[in-house]
Amino acid sequence: MGKIKNLPDSKGHFNEYGGRFVPETLMPALIELEQAYKKYKKDKEFLAELNSLQKDYIGRPTSLYFARRLTEHLKGAKVYLKREDLCHTGAHKINNAIAQALLAKKMGKTRIIAETGAGQHGVAAATGAALVGLECEIYMGTEDMRRQALNVFRMRLLGAKVTEVTTGSRTLKDAINEALRDWTTNVRNTHYVMGTVFGPHPYPLMVRDFQSIIGKEARQQILKAEGKLPDCLIACVGGGSNSIGLFYAFLTDNMRMIGIEAGGLGIQTGKHAARFAGGSLGVFQGCKSYLLQDDDGNVLTTHSVSAGLDYASIGPEHCYLRDIKKIEYTYATDEEALEAFEVLSNTEGIIPALESAHAIAEALKVAPSMPTDSIIIVNLSGRGDKDVQEVARIKGIEL
């Protein structure tokens, strides 16, 4: 295993990954954002405000819950769940969205925009905008609007304008294209709240920092509960923010860390979003990273039952952490995720987001063969209310 470097460098590179691949129009905005972030992350007043919102508004710290019945069911490692599903609005996305909304306000912006896939980040950004008093527009692919109709309604209730994106595959990547086009046009008064550890520098760095509270809490909580560190951490990887959020505080410790991508209908079918299993190095939507693309450099359409993992590329820091063998990456198929969705609901009374169900699926695979005194922490990145309708549809049940 390689030694961990303090990355990214000043240009946003994680070794060969990351960087800034954007239209020149956006460069001043990215530099402005980078400088503002540098300033406010050390600003006592900003941090105190953020801290109090994390506590009183988001509901942090979220609990680290010992899943007793799931553990008994698996007859192996003790499984703990980091309960990001208990955050206000139902997913970890709010950790980042609130922080960026606050930052946008400090920067004097009057409007925020965001992309969303599962709708969780859109809801979180709309919530952040309502909280600090900013105008808000959310871009969402029509395919995702169908799958996540509940979240579309929530965003509108929160006062956001939801703009449907009908180009390309009509999913997350197309929503990001539209958000970037909007930002290029309205860059002077608008802040783009990117929802994951992706895009041009400083987003991968900044979003990681805002999400790393997950692992900071989990580390303290497990030491308190068990008196030792876990043996294994598991999280699902869309862009990679909830996973890096959990893993980051443990990177200098020694343990297995597993990131779970969307295996869709299986890698050989081509209908998946497993960038490491099926992709190659590319440049997409602002950074250099692994990308699902064809031989001519065009971006392939992806598939996953979970809208939040249905994305053609992956955060650049993950590529670096994979190269140095700090984190392992594998995938769970739609079928495995749907099964895990039901197992967790039945054994623990917790309905997970379909994204998080991919991480649960991996726990179902690895826990049984681990000793009973070993510990797994699974990041339960979100709750599944938004997915109930889609799961019913898949099962052929009319609600």
Q: Among residues 91, 104, 140, 361, which is the contact residue for ligand PLP, using CB under 6 A?
A: 91
Say which of 78, 82, 93, 105 is annotated catalytic: 93
Which ranges in the chain belong to alpha helices (H)? Answer: 27-40, 44-53, 68-74, 93-106, 120-132, 142-147, 149-157, 172-186, 203-211, 213-226, 241-247, 275-278, 316-323, 334-348, 354-366, 388-394
Q: Is the Cβ of residue 215 or residue 238 nearer to ligand PLP in the bound state?
A: 238
In whole angstroms, the minimum distance from the beta carbon of 21 to ligand PLP comes to 19
Say which of 34, 49, 84, 115 is annotated catalytic: 115
Q: Which does 196 bind (CB under 5 to 8 A by kind): ligand PLP, other proteins, none?
A: ligand PLP
Q: Can residue 264 be called a binding residue for ligand PLP (CB under 6 A)?
A: no
Say which of 241, 289, 306, 381 is annotated catalytic: 381
Active-site annotation holds for 228: no
- Count the site residues for ligand PLP by CB under 6 A: 22
d(CA 10, CA 40): 17
Q: Among residues 3, 42, 188, 224, which is the contact residue for other proteins, using CB under 8 A?
A: 188
In whole angstroms, the minimum distance from the beta carbon of 265 to ligand PLP comes to 19
Bond into 61 cis (ω within 30): yes
d(CA 240, CA 321): 12
Active-site annotation holds for 115: yes
In whole angstroms, the minimum distance from the beta carbon of 114 to other proteins comes to 16
d(CA 70, CA 372): 13
Active-site annotation holds for 381: yes
Q: Can residue 289 be called a binding residue for ligand PLP (CB under 6 A)?
A: no
Q: Regarding beta strands 232-236 and 190-192, do their DSSP bridges make them parallel or antiparallel, or are they unpaired?
A: unpaired
Q: Is the Cβ of residue 190 or residue 381 nearer to other proteins in the bound state?
A: 190
Q: Answer for the pair 259, 235: CB distance below 8 angstroms, yes or no.
A: yes
Residues 6+ apart with CB under 8 A from 291: 275, 279, 280, 281, 282, 283, 284, 299, 312, 313
Q: Among residues 141, 199, 200, 239, which is the contact residue for ligand PLP, using CB under 6 A?
A: 239
d(CA 173, CA 180): 11
Q: Can residue 127 be called a binding residue for ligand PLP (CB under 6 A)?
A: no
Structure tokens at 182: 């909007």
DSSP result, 232-285: EEEEE-SSSHHHHHHHGGGTTS--EEEEEEEEET-GGGT-SB-HHHH-EEEEET
Q: Which does 24 bind (CB under 5 to 8 A by kind): ligand PLP, other proteins, none?
A: other proteins
Q: Answer for the pair 162, 209: CB distance below 8 angstroms, yes or no.
A: no
Q: Among residues 7, 15, 21, 374, which is the contact residue for other proteins, using CB under 8 A?
A: 21
The separation between CA 69 and the C-alpha centre of its own chain, rounded to angstroms, equals 27
Q: What type of residue sits at position 213? A: I
Residues 6+ apart with CB under 8 A from 167: 174, 177, 178
Q: Regarding beta strands 161-165 and 286-291, do their DSSP bridges make them parallel or antiparallel, or are they unpaired?
A: unpaired
User: Which range binds other proteins by CB under 8 A, 73-81, 94-102, 132-140, 281-289?
Assistant: 281-289
User: Which range binds ligand PLP by CB under 6 A, 43-51, 130-138, 237-245, 335-343?
Assistant: 237-245
Q: Can residue 224 be called a binding residue for other proteins (CB under 8 A)?
A: no
Q: Can residue 61 be called a binding residue for ligand PLP (CB under 6 A)?
A: no
Q: Which does 100 bind (CB under 5 to 8 A by kind): other proteins, ligand PLP, none?
A: none
What is the binding site for other proteins (CB under 8 A)?
11, 19-29, 167-168, 173-174, 177, 180-181, 184-188, 280-286, 291, 293, 295-299
Using CB under 6 A, list all residues that contact ligand PLP: 91, 93, 117-118, 120-121, 196, 236-243, 308-309, 353, 355-356, 381-382
Active centre residues (catalytic): 93, 115, 381
